[in-house]
Chain A
Amino acid sequence: MSVLIDKFDVFAGGFWLTLQICVLAAIGALILGAVVAVLRISPVPPLRAVGTAYVNTFRNLPLTVVMFFAAFGLPALGSNADFLRIPVLDSLFNRLGTDLPYFRFALIALVLYTAAFVCEALRSGVNAVPAGQAEAARSLGLTFGQNLRYVVLPQSWKASIVPLGSVIIAMIKNSALIGFFGVVGDLSATADQLTGAEGYAFIPVAIGISIGYLIMTVPLGALLDRIEKRQAVAR
């Protein structure tokens, strides 16, 4: 087990990188997912169709395939995803601004994929609001946007928050894939490095990595449990 102490800096580095991509991907997926959710519930049929097509595509493809498209498709299109080199953000999350584009590619794939699930979590919250609420708002003359803002969303976020949390936890675990698509040094890639190149025993390394993921996921899960209990009491 000494590897946990000897190679603490490697684990910590992997943890930090995984945390970075997860924070960025969570922000991206929440924003994109919200946009897709608005499309899916919009009164305009073509917009609804776009939203539905998006969800059906990304929810039903394996993340690996989406990663493949991002890692091999974007370069083939001549893109290095440089639009993600966002000033300020890239000094906080240093991999965002590197010349090697794989972190950005992986981030895009994770965002695209997770946004489909975020959309559905938000929509399940909206569906939990009785249809009569939105109908009453429409009959007063509120526009679609006003209806969402003043009537539906204030009542739906409560029902969305727990499924959203589950989506983010799943995303953190899914991020373990990025090591296979050229991102060097995330938490799961740490295993490869330590057991392969440096010859450490597998089990202790795996335990170290598990601890890293659990540090991110367990508090989130506990928070969700608390929110869920509070909502149960309020009901």
Chain B
Amino acid sequence: MTTGEPLIVLDSVNKWFGPLHVLDEVSLSVGRGEVVVVIGPSGSGKSTLCRTINRLEPINSGAITFDGQPLPAEGKALAKLRSEVGMVFQSFNLFAHKTILENVTLGPIKVRKEKPAVARERAMALLDRVGIANQADKFPAQLSGGQQQRAAIARALAMQPKAMLFDEPTSALDPEMVGEVLDVMTSLASDGMTMVVVTHEMGFARHAANRVIFMADGQLVEDAPPAEFFANPRSERAKDFLSKILTH
């Protein structure tokens, strides 16, 4: 699966929110085409980890490189980097004043300066791929949660990113809509997209992930292939965590 140099590398990353040490010497590398699922108890720093990769959260020490380049500081270079990393949020964050189609074409037109017709054509193909082409002219509030999240995935894909970050993409969804979003993510994974996915969906972790990362108290506690991790987690924290979520 992994070829050449890794796409995302975190080296001894530390991050504090005031006195709170949210990322504690986190080192991680994600190869091209790899799917890494991040799990762990609430407050362990999973979202923060995810958000440092496109510098939505700046770090206090350590280094992050993406595609061989250290993350740029604020400015044009950072904007360019972000355009190459798709991000999908728990609460969708579709632009409320724009239609679904406009949501998907905004980035390509304004950031990539694509011709509107070209951007629209690709947007419609993506909306078709995630199964909501017929919703293109509606506003986000008119769609179900599952449809909104699929639109958000299409919006991120429209930038033709090198990697996709997902921060609990299904946690805000009614149970019957979780599957439709996971299906889209699974198909992305099998197409070879590099993905970092924070999720509580253990089924997805088992079937789609190459590696599972377990975090606790800001530390990266375990990093193993899913079969190995679920069969015999090494740390007490992970055992404890798994026993809690798997009994439900």
Contacts and interface: CB of A to CB of B under 8 A. Distances in A.
A136 B159 CA distance: 13
A132 interface: yes
Contacts of B87: 136, 139
Contacts of B207: none
Contacts of B152: 136
Interface string A135-165: 1111111110010001100110000000000
A42 to B, nearest CB: 10
Contact of B94 (A136, A143, A150, A155): A136
Interface in B36-87: 54, 56, 74, 76, 79-87
Contact of A132 (B74, B80, B81, B93): B93
Given A141-B111, A142-B111, A155 B97 contact: yes
Contacts of B96: 133, 155
Contacts, number: 63
Nearest to B152: A136
A150 B56 contact: no
B89 A135 contact: yes
A160 to B, nearest CB: 15
Nearest to A136: B93
Q: Which of B54, B81, B96 has the most CB of A within 10 A?
A: B96
B150 interface: no
Given A133-B95, A136-B94, A137-B95, A142 B76 contact: no
Interface residues of B, number: 28
Query: How many of chain A's residues touch chain B, expressed as a range?
Result: 10 to 19
A137 B211 CA distance: 29
B91 A141 contact: no
B228 to A, nearest CB: 32
Given A133-B93, A142-B107, A43 B74 contact: yes
B110 interface: yes
B96 to A, nearest CB: 6
Contact of B110 (A132, A135, A150): A150
Interface string A40-56: 00011000000000000
B5 to A, nearest CB: 23
A143 B93 CA distance: 17
A140 B159 contact: yes
A154 B103 CA distance: 14
Nearest to B159: A140
Interface in A29-48: 43-44
A150 B89 CA distance: 20
Given A136-B89, A140-B156, A151-B95, 20 more contacts: A44-B74, A132-B91, A135-B56, A135-B89, A136-B87, A136-B93, A136-B152, A136-B155, A137-B95, A138-B82, A139-B85, A141-B81, A141-B84, A141-B107, A141-B159, A142-B106, A142-B110, A146-B111, A150-B110, A155-B96
28 contacts: A43-B74, A130-B93, A132-B89, A132-B91, A132-B93, A133-B96, A135-B56, A136-B152, A136-B155, A137-B95, A138-B79, A139-B85, A139-B86, A139-B87, A140-B82, A140-B83, A140-B106, A140-B111, A141-B80, A141-B81, A141-B107, A141-B111, A142-B106, A142-B107, A143-B76, A146-B110, A151-B95, A154-B97
Interface of B: 54, 56, 74, 76, 79-87, 89, 91, 93-97, 106-107, 110-111, 152, 155-156, 159
